[in-house]
Chains A and B, each alone.
Chain A
Amino acid sequence: QKEVEQNSGPLSVPEGAIASLNCTYSDRGSQSFFWYRQYSGKSPELIMFIYSNGDKEDGRFTAQLNKASQYVSLLIRDSQPSDSATYLCAAYTGGFKTIFGAGTRLFVKA
């Protein structure tokens, strides 16, 4: 069964620090990867996606992909209390199928 695994957390970081969120996936044929943020009681919103090995930066966010290790990460620089949310990692495995992880709860302490 195709899976996306994330540590459920909570991950607690002080304001201004770098938050590092990690994800592994089981299907080596996964083609692209997405990070979503979900605030409590709200629906997920797309932060960024990556499909090539290496790093991709967008503002304070950097996604990293290592296909050999089947590993995806999201770094949040200069973390703010407003970044406190659950972060979902997702892998597109083809055939219209995107597999979502259960999410990591991030708590940024002011």
Chain B
Amino acid sequence: GAVVSQHPSWVICKSGTSVKIECRSLDFQATTMFWYRQFPKQSLMLMATSNEGSKATYEQGVEKDKFLINHASLTLSTLTVTSAHPEDSSFYICSAREGEAFSQPQHFGDGTRLSIL
């Protein structure tokens, strides 16, 4: 159980393109979803947290106009990188959590490797 599906797994596109990444919880309702980015050999960096039906909460230093997050339902969240540039190239990972109980872990998708040329 607790499967999080993330698509696409790999994206290569030209500078200036907008890229949308989808994150779905397949067998549970994700009350809260999280988006992380990770550069090679570095730790996870939380970008934003979103609850279904409400606006995402962005971490300090993350541009909300560049990284658009939509948590439209209890099973789907999307991250759109707008007008992507080479410095946006990274490994983007979504995570989902069911409910508010303290015992609930975050479950991670397989990640999306984004390369901007």
Measured CB to CB, the nearest residue on chain A to B109 is: A43
Taking CB atoms and an 8 Å cut-off, the chain A residues in 12-52 that contact chain B are 31-32, 34, 36, 41-46, 49, 51
Could you tell me how many residues of chain B have their Cβ less than 8 Å away from some Cβ of chain A? 20
User: Known interface pairs A96-B32, A100-B44. Does A42 touch B105 (Cβ–Cβ under 8 Å)?
Assistant: no
User: CB of B76 within 8 A of chain A?
Assistant: no
Measured CB to CB, the nearest residue on chain A to B99 is: A96
For the complex, what is the distance from the CA of A98 to the CA of B91, rounded to whole Å?
20
Chain B residue numbers with a CB within 8 Å of A31 are 102
Query: Chain A's interface: helix, strand, loop or mixed, by majority?
Result: strand
Q: Mark A80-110, 1 if CB is under 8 A from B, else 0.
A: 0000000010101010111011110000000
Partner of A103, one of B43, B110, B111: B43
A46 touches B107 (CB 8 A): yes
Chain A residue numbers with a CB within 8 Å of B97 are 96, 98
For the complex, what is the distance from the CA of A103 to the CA of B51, rounded to whole Å?
27
B43 touches A51 (CB 8 A): no
For the complex, what is the distance from the CA of A101 to the CA of B42, rounded to whole Å?
11
A residues with CB within 8 A of B: 31-32, 34, 36, 41-46, 49, 51, 88, 90, 92, 94, 96-98, 100-103
Measured CB to CB, the nearest residue on chain B to A8 is: B43
Compute the total of residue contacts between A and B using a CB distance below 8 Å: 45
Query: Chain B's interface: helix, strand, loop or mixed, by majority?
Result: loop
For the complex, what is the distance from the CA of A32 to the CA of B108, rounded to whole Å?
18
User: CB of B77 within 8 A of chain A?
Assistant: no
A51 touches B108 (CB 8 A): no
Measured CB to CB, the nearest residue on chain B to A88 is: B44
B43 touches A96 (CB 8 A): no
List 4 tightest A-B contacts by C-beta distance, closest first. A31-B102, A102-B43, A43-B111, A43-B108
Given contacts A44-B108, A88-B44, A100-B46, 16 further A-B contacts (CB under 8 A): A31-B102, A32-B102, A34-B106, A41-B91, A42-B110, A42-B111, A43-B110, A44-B44, A44-B93, A45-B108, A46-B106, A94-B102, A96-B51, A98-B106, A100-B43, A102-B43
